Structure 1
Amino acid sequence: MSRATRLLDLLQLLRRHRAPVSGPALAEALGVSIRTLYRDIATLQAQGADIQGEPGLGYVLRPGFTLPPLMFSVDELEALVLGSRWVAVRGDARLGAAAADAVAKIRAVLPDALRETVDAATLTVPMLRDEPVAVDVAVIRGAARREHKLVITYRDLDGADTTRTIWPLLIGFFDRVQVLAAWCELRQDYRGFRVDRIRSVEARDERFPRRRAVLVKEWRARQGLHATARN
């Protein structure tokens, strides 16, 4: 393994952990001596990586240090291109445009050989016709990010419309539909809403009474319990 590759691998290891990681654990993961690890950490710090810590306490990489896209491997580039193609096919128009713009920015700074890898990516996504969506999904995503409530008109399987005040949490992408996971004030419980059955959406300035991260954690725990019960 070249030293440049080892330094990149070290950065990736540190990025995966929010809490400090001990020097011996990092050295073992990289297959190097502890002395080599300390030299590599010093090299990265000299290049601007905000790695904090010391022997005996562990090391953590603070946010803000980025690598130029030309450091991507071929597999990483193919993964990015595949992901962007999937979003372009399955996401709404704004997400699709954002995915295309992201790949274009990466492609613009790549050397010729890697630029050809992007252009000739071997992975693709089949074109599927999703159920038509009547609302701007970007409004739902924005409300979830800001932790603001939404008022929606929702049409059930029988064609009846109800007005709900919800706390949008996540949007799940399935084969042909998107499902919004949210807390429903009407039902006083977590509910899944098919996005294609939402007839109207209105963002409110009112924030969730609880943090979205806490709600998502609780929702995931409920999903795990339901899965266990089914099994």
Structure 2
Amino acid sequence: MRRADRLFLLIHALRGRRHAITAQQLAQTLEVSLRTVYRDVADLQRSGVPIEGEAGVGYLLRKGADIPPLMFNPDELEALVVGTRFVRAFGGERLGRGATAALLKIEAVLPPELRARSARTRIFAPQLDNRIEASGLIDALHGAVLDQRVLRVVYRDGEARASAREIEPLCLSFWGGSWTLGAWCRLRTDFRSFRPDRIVEYAATGESFVDTRERGLDAYLRSVGVAASDSG
């Protein structure tokens, strides 16, 4: 989290409270150390933010302090809520937990009327146990992408023919119904897009790879006709 974002959330965690909140509670909310909370509070106080209190007692904003609320318009707020639901349903357990935690932090600092609005959206993305996202496979592939781990997979093509390959996983793409894993395939010495639901077996080889200009993510995106700036 950027420091500016952290200071912003710290201010809004204090806003509207009648009782002091402890540094320990702030540290848990922001997922930082106590030392970081003490330093950030001191910096905000020196900048003129009217925070009262001290270490060991707790902090609150001085009554009547004019700190602008965290504001979203209804469409922005609904986008955040719906986006969180989609990530929880289709992003795997790791990202799902992160999305839930992020929304809780946002809702914690919303004005009451917007907090109520966030619960009223009627677009849902149910989490189902029989989907591939609940199997742990998407999380495992995501971890391999992030850590640049070479994988050994047994893969079945569209005609159910199996082949063993070593691949360098570069990205995951969700197409609104199915996933693909973009990778450099060492067997074919070319980029390939693999459907996770056709991966029969997978295991890390213990080898890492380097994302190079010729066979890294940007090159893969170009090969499938997507500019790097469009992928985000």
Q: TM > 0.5 between the two?
A: yes
Alignment map for 1:100-111 (pairs within 5 Å)? 100-111=100-111
Kindly indicate whether the alpha-carbon contact (under 8 Å) linking 2:155 and 2:199 is maintained by their aligned counterparts in 1: yes
Structure 1 counterpart of 2:121: 121
Aligned-partner SS, 1:176: coil
Structure 2 counterpart of 1:141: 142
Q: Work out the CA distance in 2 between the residues paired with 1:173 and 1:138.
A: 13
Report % sequence identity: 38
Structure 1 counterpart of 2:163: 162
Q: 1:124-164 CA deviation, whole Å, 9 max, x = no partner? A: 44789986476622121111112221111212223232221
Alignment map for 1:153-192 (pairs within 5 Å)? 153-192=154-193
Kindly indicate whether the alpha-carbon contact (under 8 Å) linking 2:92 and 2:136 is maintained by their aligned counterparts in 1: no
1:74 aligns with 2:74: yes
Cα 1:176–1:114 shift into 2, 3 Å: same
Q: Work out the CA distance in 2 between the residues paired with 1:70 and 1:128.
A: 33
Aligned-partner SS, 1:181: strand
Kindly indicate whether the alpha-carbon contact (under 8 Å) linking 2:93 and 2:136 is maintained by their aligned counterparts in 1: no
Aligned-partner SS, 1:164: strand
Cα 1:151–1:212 shift into 2, 3 Å: farther
Q: Work out the CA distance in 1 between the residues paired with 2:136 and 2:111.
A: 41
Gaps of 5+ in 2: 1-45, 49-67, 227-232
Q: TM-score, normalised by structure 2?
A: 0.58
Q: Work out the CA distance in 2 between the residues paired with 1:120 and 1:108.
A: 16
**Which letter does structure 2 place at the counterpart of 1:177?**
S
Q: Work out the CA distance in 1 between the residues paired with 2:119 and 2:154.
A: 43
Kindly indicate whether the alpha-carbon contact (under 8 Å) linking 2:173 and 2:179 is maintained by their aligned counterparts in 1: yes
Structure 2 counterpart of 1:88: 88
Structure 2 counterpart of 1:17: none
Q: 1:189-218 CA deviation, whole Å, 9 max, x = no partner? A: 000100111122212432223348971211
Aligned residues: 162
Cα 1:94–1:212 shift into 2, 3 Å: farther
1:221 aligns with 2:222: yes
Q: Work out the CA distance in 2 between the residues paired with 1:129 and 1:192.
A: 25
Range with greater deviation from structure 2 (109-118 or 203-212): 203-212
Aligned-partner SS, 2:183: strand
Task: Please identify which structure carries the higher helix content.
Answer: 1
**Which letter does structure 1 place at the counterpart of 2:169?**
P
Aligned-partner SS, 2:211: coil
Structure 1 counterpart of 2:20: none
Q: Work out the CA distance in 2 between the residues paired with 1:197 and 1:130.
A: 16
Gaps of 5+ in 1: 1-45, 49-67, 226-231
Cα 1:209–1:161 shift into 2, 3 Å: same
Q: TM-score, normalised by structure 1?
A: 0.58
